[in-house]
Amino acid sequence: MLDTIFDKIDKDIDLTREDLKFLLSMEDDSQLDQLYRKAYEVKTRNVGKLVYLRGIIEFSNICVKDCLYCGIRKSNTKAQRFMIPEEDVVTMAMWAYENDYGSIVLQSGERSDREFVDMVERIIHEIKRRSNSKLGITICLGEQSEETYQRWFNAGAHRYLLRIESSNPDLYRSLHPEDHDFEQRLNCIKILQKIGYQTGTGVLIGVPGQTIDHLINDLMLYKELDIDMIGMGPYLVHHETPLAEKAVDFNEERQLKQGLKMIACARLLLKDVNIASTTALQALHPQGRELGVMAGGNVIMPNITDVEYRKGYQLYENKPCTDENASQCRFCLQHRVESIGEKIGYGQWGDSIHYARRTKQA
Ligand code: 5AD
Ligand code: FES
């Protein structure tokens, strides 16, 4: 079966749901190695032997949402809330620029009040101005109105990450409180695409109640939405959240494997998109992100937030790199990426090749 699937890939024949089911159900380590190797080959062929960096600045953990899995949900009264001053966010972004990162991600808890929307707009403007428009800006700031998305786009952000968390409305509902709406999330993704953002999404892998069929549908949805970038990662427990009670049989090794399998399958199915090898993988294995690249990922998002704020942004427990500063992570990552025979695409935006093809066709 594996050979037949690989043969299809070589002949550029689309994988079916049955193929994905087979791949996602595999447990045998030598078969999994073959899967990762094939996905890596497809990565190399389509997006090259390069890893792009997006320095991530997690500038505030103040959040109006209450997702049942997330450590910075508004009901977690134990989280010490912080907001990094505007000027400091810009300084961190400039550090990324001076260190040739090519692009950054601005992420925070979700807020849509006027003060917040205005502030983000000013930050994006200022980063663009100070970097002569050379630093790429991705934002990951949740559900917003079309007007807000447009303002941030006009200010200079060109990529947006909004995870769908699950393509299954029932599973989505089981992970979120009543007032969070799956359809609204989906609609936001479509608005982002309409505005012209390179649009990324992703799901939580290995959440309680999730089946292989859900994961297959997640992959199919990426394809159906014609998504440009994927940021998905294994679910990790945070004990100050309601979902922790349901995650009784949580198993790190299984989460890691499931995360890697999903990256590999996404690469085999979507070929030319950007796929992040997320920090959540690193929380499960010391070489988690390298393994993610070897399974088909091509983007790493090193944390460049000042160390004094890092511990406040705990979406999940055991988050790596909370003691290392941005320079330490830079050297550490360069070494890690080179250790697997890849190079970092320093100074480049590393835009999604899929986006370029999609917009040329339109
Ligand atoms: N484990 C893994 N990922 C998480 N996220 C939030 N909480 C967790 C958790 N406990 C992810 C969500 C969100 C992204 C910013 O972080 O998918 O979209
Ligand atoms: Fe942060 Fe290695 S990437 S310490």
C-alpha span between 59 and 89 (Å, rounded): 7
Question: Does ligand 2 come within 6 angstroms of the Cβ of 109?
Answer: no
Please tell me the residue having the least CA distance from ligand 2 atom 3. Answer: 329
Residues 6+ apart with CB under 8 A from 160: 138, 139, 140, 149, 192, 197, 198, 199, 200
CA of 324 to the centre of ligand 2 (A): 6
Atom of ligand 1 nearest to the CA of 162: 18
* Token code pair at residue 208: 């309680």
Residues 6+ apart with CB under 8 A from 280: 233, 234, 235, 236, 259, 288, 316
Give the pLDDT score at 322: 87
Question: Over its length of 362 residues, how does the chain's per-residue pLDDT go in tens digits?
Answer: 999 999 999 999 999 999 999 999 999 999 999 999 999 999 999 999 999 999 999 999 999 999 999 999 999 999 999 999 999 999 999 999 999 999 999 999 999 999 999 999 999 999 999 999 999 999 999 999 999 999 999 999 999 999 999 999 999 999 999 999 999 999 999 999 999 999 999 999 999 999 999 999 999 999 999 999 999 999 999 999 999 999 988 999 999 999 999 999 999 999 999 999 999 999 999 999 999 999 999 999 999 998 889 988 999 988 988 888 989 889 899 999 999 999 999 999 999 999 998 888 65
Question: Does ligand 2 come within 6 angstroms of the Cβ of 13?
Answer: no
Domain boundaries, the chain: 17-361
Cα-based distances in Å from 72 to 34, 61, 62, 88, 96 = 38, 6, 7, 21, 25
Atom of ligand 2 nearest to the CA of 328: 4
CA of 256 to the centre of ligand 2 (A): 19
C-alpha span between 106 and 87 (Å, rounded): 14
Please tell me the residue having the least CA distance from ligand 1 atom 7. Answer: 70
Give the pLDDT score at 362: 59
Residue of 72, 281, 315 with the most ligand 1 atoms within 8 Å of its CB, for mutation: 315
Question: Does ligand 2 come within 6 angstroms of the Cβ of 55?
Answer: no
Name the fold adopted by 17-361.
TIM Barrel (3.20.20)
CB count in 10 Å sphere of residue 206: 21
Question: Does ligand 2 come within 6 angstroms of the Cβ of 345?
Answer: no
CA of 333 to the centre of ligand 2 (A): 6
